[in-house]
Structure 1
Amino acid sequence: MTSVVYDGTYEGWLTAIFDIYAYKLVDVVFTRDEACTGCLFGETHTVITDERKSERVLMGLRKRLSAEGLTRLHKTYLSEVDKSDEVMWHFVCHVFNSPHNVEEDYGHPAVWAVKQAAKRVKREAHRMEAFVRFKLTTDQLYYAIIEPDCDVLPLISSHFESRYADQRWLIYDAKRRYGIYYDLETVTTVAIEFQYGRATSQLIAEISDESEEFYQELWRRYFKSVTIDARKNKRLQLQHMPKRYWKHLTEKNG
């Protein structure tokens, strides 16, 4: 068994695929740097991310998959489902070993798993686009904190860039400790490290604009005023807005 260690990026994983074929590695397992423990019995192959190698793998996949098929593969990486690296590897093996397009071959477990993972990511991205709630800081930066099940920031950035093009904003993924920042011109990826104990409600109050709480209270009152008790459907509400999102929703924190 060979443990293939890469840096955890999509480009790193594509480079790993190139290396597996180039070095004829067999019986491989994927390990990301931060979780690397190595194989107790077996060899370790360390991958150095290489843009040229990853692009060559992508070129090969483009010849055998549709744009939707490639998108599903990338979304599987973003899904962070258990053993997604291996699922993607088995999918790619099936793609390269078949003379025809296999992305609709749902009888193959890897093809089905990729489809389901991509569906999960698409649903999560759609929910984030709907449920993100911005707050305003004293320096006029709109910020939102999210904790999605999947790594969807790369998928939702264009939505918020086009919708909020006239204001600076930051969407921070607290689960993965990075965010996307829009400076009125471009969207960039940023890393933010909070000191222990500083990310408190008191800190948020200190950096928030003095009128922010007023507008949040208005929104909470509006939400309550348009709610018709006789038509409440808790089960349907939870289906469309799972409870794990509530702590970041203004209308649910009043």
Structure 2
Amino acid sequence: MTTIIYDGTYKGWLTAVFEIYEHKLQDITFAREGEPAASLFGVTHHVVTNQGKAERVLNGLKQKLSADGLNQLYKTFFSEVDKFDEKMWRYVQYVFASAHNVEGDLSNNAIWEVRQAAKFVHRESHRMKAFIRFKLTKDQLFYAIVEPDCAVLPLIADHFKKRYADQRWLIYDARRRYGVYYDLETSSHVELTFNTSASAQNITELYDEREEFFQDMWRRYFGSVNIKARKNLRLHVQHMPKRYWKYLTEKHPESRLL
């Protein structure tokens, strides 16, 4: 068994695919740098991310897949499903071994698994775009805390960059302890320690004096558009699962500066 150790980036994974073919490696498992290898036996192959090698694999995939098929593979990388990188490798193996486009061959496990993982990521990305609630600090930074089911921040950053191009903002993934920060020009990956349970006094010092007014107005609006007589809790939870409620302003009507 050969354990491929790479840096945990998509470009690093593409480089690993190139080197698997280059060195004719067999019986592949993947591990990220800093993680324990999957097996104490066998050999390890350390990958140094290489732009040229990654682009060659990507260009090869572009010739064999549609834009949608390539996008499904990319989204799978952020899914965090069990052994997602090995599933992606089996997908790529099948694609390169076939003379025609196979992305619609759902009888193949690798194709099916990638499609399902991509669908999961797409759904979570869509929900994050809808459920993120920004709050304004005294230094005029809009920030939001999220805990998505998969690592979707790199996939939704451009959406918020276009939508809030004239504002500085930070979206922080509390589960994975990193965020995306936009400084009015570019967005960047940031790692920081973020206290999500600050005291009431600290919170008062942190927020802009208008923030409580904004939050109260949003709660009032949310309450006005929801007609109690037509309330369907089952349908509501289906569209807005309870696991997202933690950081939704409208779900904490009695809170101040949540």
- The TM-score range, normalised by the shorter chain, is over 0.9
Match of 2:198 in 1: 201
Q: Whole-Å Cα distance in 2 between the matches of residues 8 and 159 of structure 1?
A: 24
Match of 1:156 in 2: 156
Deviates more, 1:148-157 or 1:65-74: 148-157
After superposition, the C-alpha distances for 1:25-54 in whole angstroms (9 at most, x for unaligned) are 111111111322352221111111111111
- Structure 1 residue 201: deviation in Å? 3.1
Residue identity in the other structure for 1:16: A
Q: Work out whether 1:30 is the aligned partner of 2:30.
A: yes
Match of 2:238 in 1: 239
Q: Whole-Å Cα distance in 1 between the matches of residues 65 and 240 of structure 2?
A: 34
Q: Which of structure 1's runs of 4+ aligned residues deviate more than 3 A?
A: none
Structure 2 counterparts to residues 104-143 of structure 1, below 5 A: 104-143=104-143
Residue identity in the other structure for 2:130: A
Q: Whole-Å Cα distance in 2 between the matches of residues 20 and 45 of structure 1?
A: 9
Match of 2:179 in 1: 179
Change (3 A) 1:204 1:15: farther
Residue identity in the other structure for 1:200: S
Q: Whole-Å Cα distance in 1 between the matches of residues 188 and 236 of structure 2?
A: 34
- Structure 1 residue 218: deviation in Å? 2.2
Residue 113 of structure 1 aligns to a residue whose secondary structure is helix
Q: Work out whether 1:212 is the aligned partner of 2:223.
A: no
- Structure 1 residue 220: deviation in Å? 1.4
Structure 2 counterparts to residues 26-175 of structure 1, below 5 A: 26-37=26-37, 39-175=39-175
Residue 79 of structure 1 aligns to a residue whose secondary structure is coil
Residue 5 of structure 2 aligns to a residue whose secondary structure is strand
Residue 35 of structure 1 aligns to a residue whose secondary structure is coil
Change (3 A) 1:201 1:224: farther
Aligned 8 A contact 1:161 1:182 in 2: yes
- TM-score, reference length from structure 1: 0.94
Q: Whole-Å Cα distance in 2 between the matches of residues 204 and 23 of structure 1?
A: 55
Q: Whole-Å Cα distance in 2 between the matches of residues 38 and 104 of structure 1?
A: 31
Deviates more, 1:102-111 or 1:219-228: 219-228
Residue 250 of structure 2 aligns to a residue whose secondary structure is helix
Match of 2:8 in 1: 8
Residue 216 of structure 1 aligns to a residue whose secondary structure is helix
Q: Work out whether 1:223 is the aligned partner of 2:230.
A: no
Residue identity in the other structure for 1:47: V
Residue identity in the other structure for 1:78: F
Q: Whole-Å Cα distance in 2 between the matches of residues 44 and 141 of structure 1?
A: 45
Q: Whole-Å Cα distance in 1 between the matches of residues 125 and 111 of structure 2?
A: 21
Q: Whole-Å Cα distance in 1 between the matches of residues 80 and 4 of structure 2?
A: 18
Deviates more, 1:90-99 or 1:62-71: 62-71
RMSD between aligned alpha carbons? 1.4
Which runs of 5 or more residues in structure 2 are unaligned? Answer: 254-258
Which runs of 5 or more residues in structure 1 are unaligned? Answer: none
Q: Whole-Å Cα distance in 2 between the matches of residues 60 and 223 of structure 1?
A: 49
Q: Whole-Å Cα distance in 2 between the matches of residues 145 and 205 of structure 1?
A: 17
